[in-house]
A and B are shown apart, each in its own frame.
Chain A
Amino acid sequence: MSTLRTEEMTLNMGPQHPSTHGVLRFVIKADGEVMREAIPDVGYLHRSIEKIAEKVGYHGFMPYTDRVDYVCAMFTNQGWGMACEKLANIEVPRRGEYCRVIAAEFNRLASHLLTVGLMGMDIGAMTPFLHALREREMINDLIEELCGARLTFNYMRIGGVAWDLPPGWREKALAYLDHLDPIINEFNSLFSYNKICVERLAKVAPISAEDAINYNLVGPNLRASGVNWDVRKNIPYSVYPEFDFEVPLGSGEWGIVGDAMDRYMMRIREMVQSSRILRQALKRMPEGPVLAKVVRNFKPPAGECQIRVESARGDQGWYVVSDGTAFPWRVHVRTGSFAAMGIIQKLSRGLMIADLVVLIASLDVIAPEIDR
Chain B
Amino acid sequence: MEALKIYERVKERFPDKVLEVSEKKPDPFAAVAADAIVAVGRLLHDDPETAMDCLSNQTGVDYKDRIEVVYHLFSYKHHHTCVLKVKLPRENPTVATVEEIWRAANWMEREIFDLLGVNFDGHSDMRRILMPEDWPGYPLRKDFVEPLEYHGISTVRESPILRLDQKKKHEHA
Contacts and interface: CB of A to CB of B under 8 A. Distances in A.
Q: Please determine if A and B sit in direct contact within the complex, based on CB atoms under 8 angstroms apart.
A: yes
Interface of A: 42-43, 46, 48, 50-51, 86-87, 89, 211, 213-216, 227, 229, 234-235, 303-306, 308, 315, 317, 319, 321, 329-330, 332, 334, 338-339, 341-343, 346, 371-372
Given A48-B139, A319-B72, A234 B54 contact: no
A216 B56 contact: yes
Contact of B70 (A50, A213, A319): A319
Interface in B40-98: 53-57, 59, 61-63, 70, 72, 76, 79, 81, 83
A214 B103 contact: yes
B146 to A, nearest CB: 9
B32 to A, nearest CB: 16
Interface of B: 24-27, 29, 53-57, 59, 61-63, 70, 72, 76, 79, 81, 83, 102-104, 106-108, 111, 115, 128-132, 139-140
Contact of A317 (B25, B56, B102): B56
Contacts of A304: 24, 26-27, 29
A236 B83 CA distance: 20
Contacts of B102: 214, 216
A205 to B, nearest CB: 16
Given A319-B70, A342-B104, A42 B59 contact: no
A338 B131 CA distance: 15
A126 to B, nearest CB: 33
Most buried by B among A308, A315, A330: A330
A303 B130 contact: no
Given A306-B57, A330-B62, 11 more contacts: A43-B132, A51-B140, A213-B54, A215-B104, A216-B56, A303-B25, A317-B56, A317-B72, A321-B61, A330-B59, A338-B111
Contacts of B24: 303-304
B62 to A, nearest CB: 7
B75 to A, nearest CB: 9
Contacts of A334: 56-57, 59, 72, 108
A321 B140 CA distance: 14
Contacts of A89: 26
Given A43-B131, A51-B139, A87 B26 contact: yes
Nearest to A217: B104
Contacts of A372: 130
A46 B108 CA distance: 15
B55 A50 contact: no
B106 A50 contact: no
Most buried by A among B53, B102, B103, B139: B103
A321 to B, nearest CB: 6
Give chain A's interface secondary structure class.
mixed
Contacts of B76: 213, 227, 229
Contacts of A229: 76
Given A46-B131, A321-B61, A216 B54 contact: yes
A319 B140 CA distance: 15
A241 to B, nearest CB: 15
A321 B142 CA distance: 14
- Kindly list the 8 A-B residue pairs having the minimum CB-CB distance in the complex, ordered from nearest: A216-B104, A43-B130, A342-B107, A334-B57, A332-B59, A305-B26, A46-B130, A330-B61
B123 to A, nearest CB: 13
Contacts of A319: 57, 59, 70, 72
Contacts of B56: 216, 308, 315, 317, 334
B57 A303 contact: no
28 contacts: A42-B129, A46-B130, A50-B115, A86-B26, A87-B26, A89-B26, A213-B53, A214-B102, A214-B104, A216-B54, A304-B24, A304-B26, A305-B26, A306-B72, A306-B83, A317-B56, A319-B70, A329-B63, A330-B61, A332-B59, A334-B56, A334-B57, A334-B59, A338-B107, A341-B107, A342-B103, A343-B103, A371-B130
Contacts of A306: 27, 57, 72, 81, 83
Contacts of B104: 214-216, 339, 342
Nearest to B63: A329
B54 A342 contact: no
A29 to B, nearest CB: 15
Contacts of A211: 103
A216 B106 CA distance: 11
Contacts of A308: 56
A334 B132 CA distance: 21
A307 to B, nearest CB: 9
